[in-house]
Chain A
């Protein structure tokens, strides 16, 4: 009996942090709440920086969650709600950098470096193979020397 109570208490204790994250009151409309939660996952907590406001307990993250819910409840589309926050905090508040002229290098840089590397490997390999094929056949002298060496070796 005591063991059962202990197990129950331990299970309950491990579930506590999960509740703490969702401490703020949800929107009455489950569909809207769902959308708000989705947005909270793509918005960066500016205090903790590599965490979404969805699972950060920084006071500012909480304020921003309240704000996101407010915008959604007020009839904003997802895009409008996100833009509202980006206007104030900049693109950096988005965990995924937006796709635009200033971020082209960010999006394509790694691909470009990969392609350059792949291209140089291909070019190198091809040249190497061409050289191997182009190697001159042995002269008569060389062949004789080789044969002699091979004969010596066979006796060992």
Chain B
């Protein structure tokens, strides 16, 4: 494939240029593919971007979890920054993140509402009694229809709602101290300004 060495000066230059192209193009292509693959390493296929970001919270109205007074509806999400935490007594990961919310509730950093997803009323009440109830308002979504309105596909999920009742962010899966510190708290502080 390579040209013989006894060609004239001009073609030799052309060959050098061609060799450079032949060497760099595959390298560049490999680099681009590599970048995509590298990006893929840190993408979690379980995290489906929400279709509701920057949209008003859906229309809904739910009565409170058994033994609680305040139900939850769309209007309740207007007027102040709030978190809507989708939880269920049957959800193990909810239990893992729950202490974070009880602590957050005690500090009064932000109003937290609980959306109880597909739970038996009695189970939900007992669960909150046992593990603590940080929620200002709760909504019992027994058949999961409000969950669908919110695009919920796995519990726990946590929505950040701004003063105007618009969904700003959604955390899928349990909120960790890291997510709370790096993402939620700065966002809440910014929204409250």
Contact = CB atoms under 8 A, between A and B. Distances in A.
Given A59-B118, A67-B148, A89 B154 contact: no
Q: Which of B48, B118, B150 has the most CB of A within 10 A?
A: B48
B49 interface: yes
Contact of A47 (B143, B144, B154): B154
A46 B153 contact: yes
B48 A63 contact: no
Interface residues of A, number: 15
A49 B143 CA distance: 22
Contacts of A92: 48-49
Contacts of B118: 59
A64 B148 contact: yes
A90 B52 CA distance: 8
Contacts of A59: 118, 144
Contacts of A49: 45-46
B150 A88 contact: yes
A7 interface: no
Interface string A88-125: 11111000000000000000000000000000000000
Contact of A88 (B46, B143, B149, B154): B149
B48 A88 contact: no
Contacts, number: 39
B153 A47 contact: yes
B186 interface: no
Contacts of A146: none
Contacts of A89: 48, 51, 151, 153
A87 interface: yes
A60 interface: yes
B50 interface: yes
Contacts of A60: 144, 153
A21 interface: no
10 contacts: A46-B48, A47-B154, A49-B45, A49-B46, A59-B118, A87-B51, A88-B58, A88-B149, A90-B151, A92-B49
Closest 5 CB pairs of A and B: A90-B51, A46-B153, A88-B151, A89-B151, A92-B48
Interface of B: 45-46, 48-52, 58, 118, 143-145, 148-151, 153-154
